[in-house]
Amino acid sequence: GEDVEQSLFLSVREGDSSVINCTYTDSSSTYLYWYKQEPGAGLQLLTYIFSNMDMKQDQRLTVLLNKKDKHLSLRIADTQTGDSAIYFCAEKPQAGTALIFGKGTTLSVSS
């Protein structure tokens, strides 16, 4: 099957690191993505990783991919209140054009 699983909520304090986890099932997935959705807005692509990589860093964001366990994580360093949003993990299977999304993790950052 094609399922992407994420925990629904994460709460952190400002300045701490946030780690959002995701598991997927399709081992043929070529790309894996993290999208951010702020209240009242559409999805914004934060970062993506190609399936032959195991880590990608982009400023405060670090993506780790464990292809053996089909586990993807997004680490946000020095989390700010502006990072409060819903974060969606998505995979792109080799077949078809569709992205398969998880249900999203709501990140709440308190000051």
Partner 1 sequence: ETGVTQTPRHLVMGMTNKKSLKCEQHLGHNAMYWYKQSAKKPLELMFVYSLEERVENNSVPSRFSPECPNSSHLFLHLHTLQPEDSALYLCASSQGDSALYEQYFGPGTRLTVT
Which one of residues 102, 105, 107, 109 is an interface residue with partner 1 (CB under 8 A)? Answer: 102
Nearer to partner 1, 14 or 56 (CB): 56
Residue 46 makes contact with partner 1 by CB under 8 A: no
Which one of residues 1, 42, 59, 82 is an interface residue with partner 1 (CB under 8 A)? Answer: 42
Beta strands in 1-111 (DSSP E): 4-6, 9-13, 18-24, 31-37, 43-50, 55-58, 61-66, 71-76, 85-92, 100-101, 105-110
What residue ranges bind partner 1 (CB under 8 A)?
4, 8, 30-31, 35, 40-45, 48, 88, 90, 92, 96-104
